[in-house]
């Protein structure tokens, strides 16, 4: 008869909104030089649509993270659960949501204090494979350009790089920036060449940092890959079209989003279910920036 139920009225009657919030920190949302989380969100949205759920993008600022009670999607009961994406989202904020029994899953983040649903990449293994490739190409002076030490993905990727360097009995050369953007990659590259002018290779914590490093090195007369091999991590859409095309570690971003949505739906439907930690494998992708010719 053409009848369509009123979603708002039904949510009032059942306390179910059939909506999930995909939450990122404001810095991640604004850092449009790293199209990483939008692909994860698209994967989550595709899965949720199959289950008649909608997705709402929500951004967090530092003030709201310090006052979780002011986070409107939860305080106004607009959503049934949360996908919290990115390491910038603080542990105290997450713990306050867990204490309030809000169904949630973390993406590219995890807690040391307590168990929580989380979807992670094999960051250490992926970083190890990238560093090993540079070593096998004959490089011995390889710098790792990282981001904030408190981010779990940065720590794991640094660990993989360090393991490869230590196995080769070489000194790890690590710089940590306050961000993981093209701009911070450029700044760290300049600093790295000042500290270690004999560098022949750079492994960056993500592709944005790698792209910034390539551009900055070129301005200083060090061209990639002739003078400097560069590898990134994440395999964002810009990696393949960068000049030169960027060697990187492929992360299955859309699959991460699908798994996050599936995990959250399981939590919503089975509130007593134990938290699950899922680690997704990565794959090394070789392109021209480290001297690979297809």
Segment 188-216, tens digit of pLDDT: 999 999 999 999 999 999 999 999 999 99
Each residue's pLDDT tens digit, 12-63: 444 689 999 999 998 654 445 567 899 999 999 999 999 999 999 999 999 9
Q: Are strands 142-146 and 248-250 parallel, antiparallel or unpaired?
A: unpaired
Does domain 7-121+252-282 match CATH 3.30.565.10? no
Q: Are 207 and 31 in contact (CB under 8 A)?
A: no
Instruction: Give the pLDDT band (50/70/90) at residue 114.
Output: confident
The conformation of residue 6, written as its DSSP 8-state character, comes to: -
Is residue 11 pLDDT above 60, yes or no? no
State the DSSP H helix or E strand holding residue 55, giving kind and residue range, or none if neither: strand 54-60
CB burial readout 73-95, b (16+ within 10 A) else e = bbeeeebbbbbbbbbbbbbebbe
Is residue 3 pLDDT above 60, yes or no? no
Average of per-residue pLDDT across 232-242: 95
Question: Which homologous superfamily is 123-250+285-290 in?
Answer: Response regulator (3.40.50.2300)
Pair of tokens at residue 168: 């080769």
> Where do the CATH 3.40.50.2300 domains begin and end in the chain?
7-121+252-282, 123-250+285-290
Average of per-residue pLDDT across 75-89: 95
User: What is this structure's pTM?
Assistant: 0.90
* DSSP-assigned letters across all residues of 163-228: HHHHHTT---EEEE-S--SHHHHHHHHHHHHHH-TT--EEEESSHHHHHHHHHHHHHTT--TTTT-
**pLDDT of amino acid 28:** 59
């Amino acid at each position: 008869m053409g009848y369509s139920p009123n979603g708002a009225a039904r949510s009032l009657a059942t306390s179910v909104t059939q909506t999930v919030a995909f939450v990122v920190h404001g810095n991640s949302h604004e850092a449009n030089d790293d199209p990483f989380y939008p692909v994860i969100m698209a994967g989550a949205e595709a899965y949720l649509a199959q289950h008649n759920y909608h997705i709402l993008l929500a951004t967090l600022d530092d003030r709201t993270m310090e006052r979780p009670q002011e986070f409107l999607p939860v305080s106004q009961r607009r959503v049934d659960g949360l996908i919290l994406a990115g390491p910038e989202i603080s542990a105290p904020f997450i713990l306050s949501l867990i204490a309030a029994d809000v169904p949630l899953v973390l993406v590219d983040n995890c807690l040391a204090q307590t168990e929580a649903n989380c979807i992670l990449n094999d960051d250490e293994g992926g970083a190890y494979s990238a560093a090993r490739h540079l070593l096998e190409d004959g490089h011995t002076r390889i710098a790792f350009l990282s981001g904030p030490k408190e981010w779990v993905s940065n720590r794991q990727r640094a660990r993989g790089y360090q393991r490869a360097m230590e196995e080769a009995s070489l000194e790890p050369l690590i710089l940590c920036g306050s961000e993981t953007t093209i701009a911070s990659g450029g700044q760290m590259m300049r600093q790295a060449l000042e500290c270690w002018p004999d560098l022949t290779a750079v492994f960056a914590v993500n592709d944005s940092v790698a792209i910034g490093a390539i551009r900055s090195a070129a301005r200083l007369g060090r061209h990639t890959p002739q003078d400097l091999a560069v590898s990134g991590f994440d395999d964002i859409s810009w990696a393949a079209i960068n000049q030169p095309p960027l060697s990187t570690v492929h992360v299955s971003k859309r699959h991460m989003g699908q798994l996050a949505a599936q995990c959250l739906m399981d939590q919503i439907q089975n509130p007593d279910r134990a938290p699950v930690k899922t680690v997704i494998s990565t794959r090394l992708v070789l392109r021209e920036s480290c001297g690979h010719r297809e």
